[in-house]
Chain A
Amino acid sequence: GQSLEQPSEVTAVEGAIVQINCTYQTSGFYGLSWYQQHDGGAPTFLSYNALDGLEETGRFSSFLSRSDSYGYLLLQELQMKDSASYFCAVRGDTGGFKTIFGAGTRLFVKA
Chain B
Amino acid sequence: EPEVTQTPSHQVTQMGQEVILRCVPISNHLYFYWYRQILGQKVEFLVSFYNNEISEKSEIFDDQFSVERPDGSNFTLKIRSTKLEDSAMYFCASSERWNTEAFFGQGTRLTVV
Contacts and interface: CB of A to CB of B under 8 A. Distances in A.
A97 B106 contact: no
Interface in B45-77: 45, 48, 50, 54-58
B59 to A, nearest CB: 11
Interface residues of B, number: 26
Given A95-B56, A96-B48, A42 B42 contact: no
B106 A42 contact: yes
Interface in A82-103: 87, 89, 91, 94-103
A99 B33 contact: yes
Contact of B42 (A31, A48, A102): A102
A97 B42 contact: no
Interface string B74-113: 0000000000000000010000001111111111000000
A101 B48 contact: no
Interface of B: 31, 33, 35, 41-45, 48, 50, 54-58, 91, 98-107
26 contacts: A30-B99, A31-B99, A35-B43, A42-B106, A42-B107, A43-B43, A48-B101, A87-B43, A96-B48, A96-B55, A97-B31, A97-B48, A97-B56, A97-B98, A98-B48, A98-B56, A98-B58, A99-B33, A99-B45, A100-B45, A101-B35, A101-B42, A101-B44, A102-B42, A103-B42, A104-B42
Given A43-B43, A44-B104, A50-B99, 14 more contacts: A42-B104, A42-B106, A43-B91, A45-B103, A48-B100, A87-B43, A95-B56, A97-B55, A97-B98, A98-B48, A99-B45, A99-B102, A101-B43, A101-B44
